[in-house]
Structure 1
């Protein structure tokens, strides 16, 4: 018994219309269908630089979204044909346009409950309107629109989507719509095919393509039997933010925003966050929702082969960029360290380093040596001149002082010494004492005048001044490294 051939029939046309209009992934994809229709209108007339307006009215009792163009417009006969030609587009075979399924008009059902297509044909003074409702298999045609809010003053078409859903009002903000159209229409906007402005209230923003980030790879277009594949890829030095490579098809419209959505490219170097840009191949087919590539048997394998051919070049470029970045970072770090240590060493040279000693084996920095060198007197730090408890010379006329003099905050002076003794080893003087100061009598013997050792430091007195001075540093002082004895001559009358 031969097989029976059965013709398919849609029993519920209204439900089929509703399901078809809700095949989009998100509301912005449905809005993009009307933008595509406006762009196709400019492409069919070879009009470059035309303007597409996206008007958002999310507040008030009757919120709506409108998409307007300044193309040829449509008369009543053309609008009637549009309503009767669903799923059969007259744009099939025209490489300049994107639409080929004739279902974009039904996308309003994912945004709102009603849709009005208002158009005025070139050379006519009448404005026609086509009205559709969600889930209905019928449309209403108004050959002469009399409402002043809908009438057009110039040729073109405006699509109004009314009775918006609450979730749509939340999603379709001006900023989100601008960012979405920048990604989806970046290639066409960069070529200057048309311009898009998004208006909400008194604010209007022009959609501009994204600026390239990084160094462009010089990859020539690859010719195929189904057209050319053009590469516009950029390499960034650091993976500091997410970067993706998009894929565009006909009319400069992006099909997928991220190449790694395809299983064949979900790996480095495409997922390294250093590659960005666009791969354009007009032969690629998109799904009904415009968010995926149709894996056909002709164009899609050619696309995979072309991407595999340029992958080694991309990997080598990433390696060279990584080496250059490492070298640049090392040079920058070395320069920073040189500046920091130079500044630190300069500051240390200006400060009194406590590791320096007044007595040492090397000349300089107020140190004593076997060959003393006469140097100009230097100011010593106050922290290094703290005197111990003093003792006066063994003389009946002088009594022992049990308290140490206070630390001086003024420039220290030196006692009168033998001129042959260098100034570097002269003892600092103290301008204040806690005990009363006496003058040594003239009869004080020379041996008791200024004889000191490091074991028993002696506080000396001068006949001509009331200031005392240390001839050697005490053994607990950090400046005392050796034991010396300095004997001063008796004061002259």
Structure 2
């Protein structure tokens, strides 16, 4: 039996091209396709000496008034001959097999269908006087089953460019995607900046190609250079790691890591990039088996992983899993996890300490307010009299105001108690007129209250363990100063219990309202 290649009739081809145009999950992946083609063009033309460093620029602009998104590169441009070939050679790429380039599928120029109904691709080389113009458009109606992508090619003058296409340029390619009201709202100035920072982070960070990214709003006349968004925290890894050549094959592959432990964020999810362009939002999307790792499941890890050689799937939404390079990348991610586990554990401890300290600081501010709004056992409910403007004072016109008390209890100290005292949740140590409270971080109840990271439970625990020892300290001070005569031990215990309950009740009133 003779082997034959399957063929596609014209109707099926038209339907498939339309599906290719609409395969992207929203405007950002679509915009990424055009921007990525521009990056490749800049890097290729720079290597070939066709442009210099002064034109290493990518622009991502929005024109809200016309609902257009503009992506522009300043590479050497597309010749008129090549422009004629593009719509007739979908899927045929001159980049195929070039592992250092990104647009090897030759379908990215169709990505407009996931944003709107048409796109204008305009390019010019320095040697040409006119602009080469390729327009793709979706026509027909879905309900009639005749939707399809059509195209036309013509040339534009400098006057055409100024009048209809947001201005002329000397060389490069300008993409104008005609969107709708819903899409253009998502391409506002700030969102475009976030898009570039999110989808091209390794290029912004390393900037090996010295490419400048610009975002802007045409209607407002705004343009801004985009920079890498620095992540606050402890850097765990920052640089390239060589993949084992026996696994990676002939190519000497390297993977670039930028990993930061951010104590204050729990967003988690380290994105994966291929050749500087985001493919996955999370390493776990690359391979689910990494779900048992400490590093790649930690909610405090931010940064990126960037590999430089692997092929991506159609639509640039995944990496080809059949290659040895893919398997070596997954293995490397496990190796990095093993090397960084100790650092993660240490940072988790620091994070817990910072969180717990913050809860205690917040709680102690509340405790001081409670102290001012209740009557301690060793104090009087003192008031100050304020005379009227006439200087006279009478009981019925007297204005009463509570005097602020000196709060003698210092902010609790977190510590582990000795073996003898390990059963205690907290204790108090007097030093002169000040009292120091120590909270036992080794107690199981402390770990339960603070261990889950819930602020409310930590605050409740702090008041529950502090209120009784504050009441005891006040009672001791009251007895020593003989401010009040107490009867039996049971009466003293009752007074302490009532005072502790008073503190906790007042705390709840302050937190949740009367």
Aligned 8 A contact 1:22 1:107 in 2? yes
Matched, 1:248 2:273: yes
CA deviation after TM superposition for structure 1 residue 170, in Å:
3.6
CA deviation after TM superposition for structure 1 residue 4, in Å:
6.0
Aligned 8 A contact 1:183 1:257 in 2? no
Counterparts of 2:156 and 2:89, CA distance in 1: 22
CA deviation after TM superposition for structure 1 residue 104, in Å:
0.9
Deviations 1:351-387 (A, max 9, x none): 9956xxxxxxxxxxxxxxxxxxxxxxxxxx999xxxx
Aligned match for 2:137, one of 111, 133, 136: 133
Query: Which residue in the other structure is 1:110 paired with?
Result: 114
CA deviation after TM superposition for structure 1 residue 294, in Å:
2.3
Matched, 1:198 2:215: yes
CA deviation after TM superposition for structure 1 residue 72, in Å:
0.7
CA change 1:77–1:212 in 2 (3 A) is same
TM-score by length of 2: 0.60
Matched, 1:302 2:328: yes
Counterparts of 2:121 and 2:136, CA distance in 1: 9
Query: Which residue in the other structure is 1:41 paired with?
Result: 41
Query: Which residue in the other structure is 2:60 paired with?
Result: 54
Aligned 8 A contact 1:44 1:96 in 2? no
CA deviation after TM superposition for structure 1 residue 143, in Å:
3.5
Deviates more, 1:331-340 or 1:46-55: 331-340
CA deviation after TM superposition for structure 1 residue 39, in Å:
1.0
Deviations 1:164-218 (A, max 9, x none): 2343234333333321221111111222232222222213343322212321124
Counterparts of 1:329 and 1:108, CA distance in 2: 46
CA change 1:168–1:323 in 2 (3 A) is closer
SS at match of 1:55: strand
Query: Which residue in the other structure is 1:265 paired with?
Result: 290
CA change 1:56–1:100 in 2 (3 A) is same
SS at match of 2:7: coil
Aligned match for 1:317, one of 322, 330, 343: 343
Query: Which residue in the other structure is 1:7 paired with?
Result: 6
Aligned match for 1:275, one of 277, 285, 301: 301
Q: Which has the higher Rg, Structure 1 or Structure 2?
A: 1
CA change 1:323–1:100 in 2 (3 A) is same
CA change 1:88–1:341 in 2 (3 A) is closer
CA change 1:32–1:329 in 2 (3 A) is closer
Counterparts of 1:86 and 1:179, CA distance in 2: 31
CA deviation after TM superposition for structure 1 residue 100, in Å:
0.5
TM-score by length of 1: 0.63
CA change 1:326–1:169 in 2 (3 A) is closer
Aligned 8 A contact 2:72 2:172 in 1? yes
Q: Higher helix share goes to which structure?
A: 2
Structure-to-structure mapping, 1:312-461, within 5 angstroms: 312-325=338-351
CA deviation after TM superposition for structure 1 residue 326, in Å:
5.1
Deviates more, 1:320-329 or 1:292-301: 320-329
- What runs of 5+ residues in structure 2 fail to find an aligned partner? 47-51, 140-147, 246-250, 372-376, 385-482, 486-514
Aligned 8 A contact 1:10 1:16 in 2? no
Deviates more, 1:98-107 or 1:116-125: 116-125
Deviates more, 1:130-139 or 1:221-230: 130-139
Counterparts of 2:357 and 2:136, CA distance in 1: 67
Counterparts of 2:379 and 2:156, CA distance in 1: 97
Counterparts of 1:292 and 1:63, CA distance in 2: 30
Counterparts of 1:218 and 1:231, CA distance in 2: 6
CA deviation after TM superposition for structure 1 residue 32, in Å:
1.3
Matched, 1:221 2:241: yes
Query: Which residue in the other structure is 2:227 paired with?
Result: 208
Counterparts of 2:29 and 2:348, CA distance in 1: 38
Counterparts of 1:159 and 1:320, CA distance in 2: 49
CA deviation after TM superposition for structure 1 residue 94, in Å:
3.2
Counterparts of 1:337 and 1:100, CA distance in 2: 58
Query: Which residue in the other structure is 1:75 paired with?
Result: 79
- What runs of 5+ residues in structure 1 fail to find an aligned partner? 346-350, 355-380, 384-476, 480-493
Structure-to-structure mapping, 1:88-107, within 5 angstroms: 88-107=92-111
CA deviation after TM superposition for structure 1 residue 235, in Å:
1.7
CA change 1:9–1:123 in 2 (3 A) is same
Counterparts of 1:340 and 1:119, CA distance in 2: 65
Query: Which residue in the other structure is 1:466 paired with?
Result: none
CA change 1:19–1:328 in 2 (3 A) is closer
CA deviation after TM superposition for structure 1 residue 84, in Å:
2.5
SS at match of 1:44: helix
Aligned 8 A contact 2:60 2:192 in 1? no
